A and B are shown apart, each in its own frame.
Chain A
Amino acid sequence: MKNDKTIFWLQIASVSWIWIFVMGVAIWILNLIRVAHKLNDALNASVGISIVAIPVFFTLAAILTYVFVGLQKDKHRGDERAKQTGGIDSSWRGAK
């Protein structure tokens, strides 16, 4: 049980790490825009690139978080079903 909790918190930490990574990338890109602005060095191009790049990273983090939350939400329901049926069938066909 204690082990389960440790693993759960490690999973939370891994998802949080993804957000830290994505925020880091966004801050890095924003910093480069700031540098371009300071040096008057083709600011428009930097902004254009960041408009494409930043949302890609945030979408990836959002997808991972969505999957994590979605799986965790139903984890307990799966456990209850396992008690009734006498075991877990985690395979794809177990979903039927």
Chain B
Amino acid sequence: MSELRHNTFEDEDLIRPIEQTGPGFYLMVAILLGVIVFAGYTYIRQVFLGLGVTGLAQPVSWGFYIINFVFFIGISHAGTLISAILRLSKAEWRRPITRMAEVITAIVLAIGGLHPILDLGRPDRMLHLFTEGRLQSPLLWDVTSITAYFAASTVYLYLPMIPDIAILRDRGTRPRWLYEFLAWGWRGTEHQKKVLERAINILMVMVIPIAISVHTVISFIFSMTIQPGWHSTIFGPYFVVGAIFSGIAALLIVMIAFRKAFDLGKYLKLIHFQYLSTLLLIMSFLWFYFTFAEYLTGFYGHEPNEMRVFLYKFTGDYAPWFWTMGICNFLIPVVILVNPKTKKIPGILIASISVVIGMWLERLIIVVPSLANPRLPYPTGIYIPSLTEWSLFAGGVAVFILAYMLFAKLFPIISIWEIQEGREESVHAVAERLKSYLPDPPSEQLLTEKLGSKR
């Protein structure tokens, strides 16, 4: 250990939360564990008593669990997809953001991916998927694409962490064996750097189509059926847009929370929030465009079953939720984010929370009304979630917060090496890039000739 030399460290602020733990951390962990234990209890109760303890019934057989499944998987688009796009487009402002985004993906994918199991009255029957599953079913496409996305996102999160893990190992941060194990022998040689860069470059290209496929395939669960309100050709891109939209909002909330909790104002500057919230604003307009196109097409066709669902959302039982969704996803973010005076961190936080709520409502609006108004001659269905469903929802959110906190306790939440690389190479790299965009300056000979002709 004595032969290891600590880096002269200008980024001590990023290591401090790992090496020092305040009482607030333990208090928060205890509260979250309490919520998770209660959720665990309600789930065990559901397994023993059956789905009768939920608000699910015929014809509304999908409720909170599937809504949350779609919602959490949507949030996962915050991370790997946004990070990969920003890396690929060489957006220099990405540097303090990418790690935070990637962590969101890995955690919410694990949470979201488990939700369909909660929806099963007999979870042991999941095993049939392995022995007798039908690959032609969109449900199986989901299992495959979510597994692929989870694997790719975890690798994409882990590989860029290796140099930072090695820094912790060399500082002797505890648990040292963990950092030694995860650093994979990183010594910071030129060859190692090349290997890692090559792998990250391949991954970031690979991860974008996987991420898009995931939410497209999730939309297929709905759109491949002929249920009114679901059977739509634009559901794939509509879901992808919604996922990126809610993902950016979730990322902004996480960034604001950690900026405050870890005092990271030096790294997460107003400009980062403003750039990201501009993306949020663009996605808000895009979401509105897709929603408008989706509902206008259904309304114009005026097919009776389609209209039952349409009116159920616009003027019926679900009208309050539908219009709140519109206010949360469009009105509030647009009003806040188009005005430079309100496009500050408090305003961005309000807009982001509003979008997350709005996007959850959108999932509710998609799932329940179509099931409540089926083509078959059923009376209109009713769905009121029970305490079991609410507690499992709270449990899912608590698992997310806890997992994120534990990650931040073990690893730097902002990529140290990317910040260092940015400080040392970005200015030069951006200058070179700018030169390559701009037209070449006129040669001296040409200038002399032009000046001569003017005289």
**Complex: A49 Cα to B134 Cα, angstroms:** 11
Whether A56 and B148, one on each chain, are in contact in the complex, defined by CB atoms closer than 8 angstroms, is yes
- A71-B192, A73-B191, A81-B187 known; A63-B131 Cβ under 8 A: no
CB distance from A92 to the nearest CB of B (A): 4
B195 at the A/B interface (Cβ < 8 Å)? yes
CB distance from A82 to the nearest CB of B (A): 7
Whether B192 and A35, one on each chain, are in contact in the complex, defined by CB atoms closer than 8 angstroms, is no
CB distance from B172 to the nearest CB of A (A): 12
Whether A45 and B136, one on each chain, are in contact in the complex, defined by CB atoms closer than 8 angstroms, is yes
A2 at the A/B interface (Cβ < 8 Å)? no
Q: In which size bucket is the chain B interface?
A: 35 or more
Whether A74 and B181, one on each chain, are in contact in the complex, defined by CB atoms closer than 8 angstroms, is no
Q: Which residues of A contact B5 (CB under 8 A)?
A: 86-89
- A86-B3, A91-B416 known; A63-B155 Cβ under 8 A: yes
8 Å CB interface, A40-68 against B: 41-42, 45-46, 49-50, 53, 56-57, 59-60, 63-64, 66-68
- A28-B130, A88-B5, A91-B420 known; A49-B135 Cβ under 8 A: yes
Interface stretch of the complex, out of B83-91, B163-171, B258-266, B325-333: B163-171
Q: Which residues of B contact A87 (CB under 8 A)?
A: 3-5
CB distance from A43 to the nearest CB of B (A): 9
CB distance from A84 to the nearest CB of B (A): 11
CB distance from B111 to the nearest CB of A (A): 20
Q: Which residues of A contact B199 (CB under 8 A)?
A: 63, 66-67, 70
- A41-B136, A45-B135, A63-B203 known; A92-B193 Cβ under 8 A: yes
Contacting residue for A95 out of B147, B181, B189, B210, CB 8 A = B189
**Complex: A11 Cα to B181 Cα, angstroms:** 6
Smallest CB-CB separation from A6: which chain B residue?
A: B177
B417 at the A/B interface (Cβ < 8 Å)? yes
**Complex: A92 Cα to B417 Cα, angstroms:** 5
Q: Which residues of B contact A82 (CB under 8 A)?
A: 3, 187
Q: Which residues of A contact B132 (CB under 8 A)?
A: 35
User: Binary interface profile of A, 10-53, with partner B (CB < 8 Å = 1, else 0)?
Assistant: 11001000000100010011011101100001100110011001
Whether A7 and B190, one on each chain, are in contact in the complex, defined by CB atoms closer than 8 angstroms, is no
Whether A90 and B155, one on each chain, are in contact in the complex, defined by CB atoms closer than 8 angstroms, is no
CB distance from A12 to the nearest CB of B (A): 11
Whether B134 and A75, one on each chain, are in contact in the complex, defined by CB atoms closer than 8 angstroms, is no
Whether B202 and A90, one on each chain, are in contact in the complex, defined by CB atoms closer than 8 angstroms, is no
- A29-B135, A41-B134, A46-B136 known; A79-B147 Cβ under 8 A: no
- A66-B199, A91-B416 known; A78-B192 Cβ under 8 A: yes
Q: In which size bucket is the chain A interface?
A: 35 or more
Whether A32 and B140, one on each chain, are in contact in the complex, defined by CB atoms closer than 8 angstroms, is yes
8 Å CB interface, B178-202 against A: 180-181, 183-193, 195-196, 198-199, 202
Q: Which residues of A contact B421 (CB under 8 A)?
A: 92-93
Whether B177 and A7, one on each chain, are in contact in the complex, defined by CB atoms closer than 8 angstroms, is yes
Whether A50 and B135, one on each chain, are in contact in the complex, defined by CB atoms closer than 8 angstroms, is yes
B133 at the A/B interface (Cβ < 8 Å)? yes
Whether A91 and B7, one on each chain, are in contact in the complex, defined by CB atoms closer than 8 angstroms, is yes
Whether A36 and B187, one on each chain, are in contact in the complex, defined by CB atoms closer than 8 angstroms, is no
Whether B180 and A7, one on each chain, are in contact in the complex, defined by CB atoms closer than 8 angstroms, is yes
Whether B181 and A7, one on each chain, are in contact in the complex, defined by CB atoms closer than 8 angstroms, is yes
Whether A49 and B195, one on each chain, are in contact in the complex, defined by CB atoms closer than 8 angstroms, is no
Whether B169 and A90, one on each chain, are in contact in the complex, defined by CB atoms closer than 8 angstroms, is yes
CB distance from A91 to the nearest CB of B (A): 5
Whether A88 and B4, one on each chain, are in contact in the complex, defined by CB atoms closer than 8 angstroms, is yes
Whether A36 and B135, one on each chain, are in contact in the complex, defined by CB atoms closer than 8 angstroms, is yes
Whether A91 and B133, one on each chain, are in contact in the complex, defined by CB atoms closer than 8 angstroms, is no
B144 at the A/B interface (Cβ < 8 Å)? yes
Smallest CB-CB separation from B143: which chain A residue?
A: A28
CB distance from B62 to the nearest CB of A (A): 24
Q: Which residues of B contact A59 (CB under 8 A)?
A: 202, 206
Whether A78 and B3, one on each chain, are in contact in the complex, defined by CB atoms closer than 8 angstroms, is no
CB distance from B449 to the nearest CB of A (A): 44
Q: Which residues of A contact B148 (CB under 8 A)?
A: 53, 56-57, 60
- A77-B189, A81-B189, A90-B169 known; A67-B195 Cβ under 8 A: yes
Q: Which of B166, B203, B420 has the most CB of A within 10 A?
A: B166
B401 at the A/B interface (Cβ < 8 Å)? no
Q: Which residues of A contact B424 (CB under 8 A)?
A: 93
Contacting residue for B136 out of A36, A68, A89, CB 8 A = A36
- Chain A residues within 8 Å of B, Cβ to Cβ: 3-4, 7, 10-11, 14, 21, 25, 28-29, 31-33, 35-36, 41-42, 45-46, 49-50, 53, 56-57, 59-60, 63-64, 66-68, 70-75, 77-79, 81-83, 86-96
Interchain residue pairs with CB less than 8 A apart (20):
A3-B177, A32-B134, A32-B140, A36-B134, A45-B135, A46-B135, A57-B148, A67-B159, A67-B195, A70-B195, A71-B162, A73-B191, A74-B185, A74-B187, A86-B3, A88-B4, A88-B187, A90-B186, A91-B188, A91-B417
Other A-B contacts than A71-B192, A90-B167, A95-B189, 5 sampled, CB-CB below 8 A, are A36-B135, A46-B135, A49-B140, A70-B191, A95-B190
